[in-house]
Amino acid sequence: MANPLYDKLFAPHENSATAFITDPIDNTVVSYADFITHAAQVANSLSALGLNAGDRLAAQIGKSQAALALYAGCVQAGIVFLPLNTAYTASEVEYFVDDSGAKVLVCDPDNEESLTPLCNKLNVTLVTQSKDGLQGSLPNATQSAAKQFDTASRTENDLAAFLYTSGTTGRSKGAMLTQNNLLSNAQTLVQYWEFSSSDKLLHALPVFHTHGLFVATNVVLLAGASMIFEAGFNIDRIMKRLPSASCMMGVPTFYTRLLADERLNKELVSNMRLFISGSAPLLAETHTQFENTTGHRILERYGMTETNMNTSNPYNGERRAGTVGFPLDGVELKITDPSTGEELPQGDIGIIEVRGPNVFKGYWNMPEKTREELRDNGFFITGDLGIIDEDGYVSIVGRNKDLIISGGYNIYPKEIEQLLDEQAGVSESAVIGVPHHDFGETVVGILVGEGSSLDAEAIQEKVESSLARFKHPRKLIVVDELPRNTMGKVQKNVLREQYKDLFTTS
């Protein structure tokens, strides 16, 4: 029976002895055939729990090859897979499980006690799987399960996964991703980034997110490549692994940490062909430093929970710092006026809207929110502010919610941040709008310093001589680090909350 995602990602490898994954726990190499067999055993175990095609399964577990086998088993059984951040608290997990209607929750044995009450409350079956994937009630059942599973019949429009948005502006939304959303995007990326069976991906990303699961893993599976599966970004282990890899996908923090290590040089990465960055903006300075140190120019791309990947700098061609490249094949992208929805002329800043087979089906149980953000014509209103330059390169200048309106003027934080980042002693910055008793909002710059060389007064003078007065930060604040989520994105909502009372009284 047809199951497009399984048929393309997993079925071709059923009898392949080719190495698929080097496990992060004990460095054992798992072949494709053994992995597919493991996934079939997982599918049988889930079926024994009463799960059927279309049911939802939530998983809050550590990164291991068994975690990937759980994803594969869900695909084979037609179960909608919901990966959850391992940092979520029990109350947060309760919301996701309740909202999604998940019938089964898979958790680490260490969390079983705290999660049992909510599972009893919601009538959800709780099973366990340890960080290494070897211990717990699910691995125990899987070990003795049948090694063959009749793949569930699915269509390209059937749901394959739920991913919940971060919920920084309200209740988290469950993005419904179909089989074709995931498959079409992986097919495009394999071609665009020229992946082949000879590639070996250094995988240090979490697998509860689009980047690590639906981009990195699906691309490797579709290309028949292999990967070195690291539990996280440990600089010593990454340095040891780099010489045997050909590609790495990472967030900007990966690259700044690599650059801070004196062991990074051209010889260490001589076997690499591609470094990819995403999930957060990469500073132009990082681009330049990395190229000077390694000879490699990082390829930056742009994606979202709701769409997987939308754009990419070219594999062959200029990888332009400060941009996310061009729309991928099959993806339409336009810049629109936030208030009218009308398409804007090239060079104007506005909201990025995208349409294509990668765009999600809608938000689970949120028809009104779906109508607000997904137009009838198929264009998704991303909420990201962007601009297309004269050569067609797309740049992200911020989130619409990060737009600062001070005294009636629109202020785009990215413009100010770029100037601040160029100043001596500044390693990075974040510009936010905070309430102001006179202007409604005003600009505040948060600076992370490099040692003791940061001179805030001199920086303020530079800003005032470079930008229009209404864009000037009313205050510059120096901090040790910026708050970030697990994918390295700066949490401006946290900063806005922290500094909201700076100017609310006259």
Instruction: Quote the pLDDT of residue 166.
Output: 61
DSSP-derived 3-state class of residue 404: strand
DSSP-derived 3-state class of residue 240: helix
Instruction: Quote the pLDDT of residue 501.
Output: 87
Residue 382 CB-density burial (10 A; 0-12 exposed, 13-18 middle, 19+ buried): buried
- Range 424-432 average pLDDT: 91
Instruction: Quote the pLDDT of residue 251.
Output: 86
Count, in order, helices (H) and strands (E) of the chain: 15, 25
**Banded model confidence at residue 404, pLDDT cuts 50, 70, 90:** confident
Phi-psi region of 44 (alpha: psi -120 to 50; beta: other; left: phi over 0): alpha
Instruction: Quote the pLDDT of residue 438.
Output: 64
The 3-state DSSP composition of the chain as helix, strand, coil percent (nearest 5) reads: 35, 25, 40
Is residue 83 a contact partner of residue 207, using CB atoms and an 8 Å limit? yes
Alpha carbon distance 77, 91 (integer Å): 29
Is residue 49 a contact partner of residue 115, using CB atoms and an 8 Å limit? no
| DSSP structure string for 44-68 | HHHHHTT--TT-EEEEE---SHHHH
Length of the chain: 506
Instruction: Quote the pLDDT of residue 465.
Output: 86
DSSP-derived 3-state class of residue 393: coil
One-letter identity of residue 437 = H
Instruction: Quote the pLDDT of residue 506.
Output: 44
- Beta strands, E only, 285-422: 299-304, 308-312, 326-327, 332-336, 350-355, 362-363, 380-388, 394-399, 404-406, 409-411
The model's pLDDT over 356-403, given as tens digits with 9 standing for 90+, comes to 999 999 999 999 999 999 999 999 999 899 999 999 999 998 777 777
Instruction: Quote the pLDDT of residue 504.
Output: 67
Alpha carbon distance 321, 101 (integer Å): 43
Instruction: Quote the pLDDT of residue 169.
Output: 45
- Range 101-122 average pLDDT: 96
The model's pLDDT over 32-83, given as tens digits with 9 standing for 90+, comes to 999 999 999 999 999 999 999 999 999 999 999 999 999 999 999 999 999 9
User: Domains (ranges, CATH) in the chain?
Assistant: 4-8+31-154 (3.40.50.980), 403-498 (3.30.300.30)
* Residue matched to tokens 């994105």: 489
Instruction: Name which of 255, 259, 250 is nearest 232 in CA terms.
Output: 250
- Alpha-carbon torsion (467, 462, 492, 213), positive or negative: positive
* Between 234 and 171, residue with greater pLDDT: 234
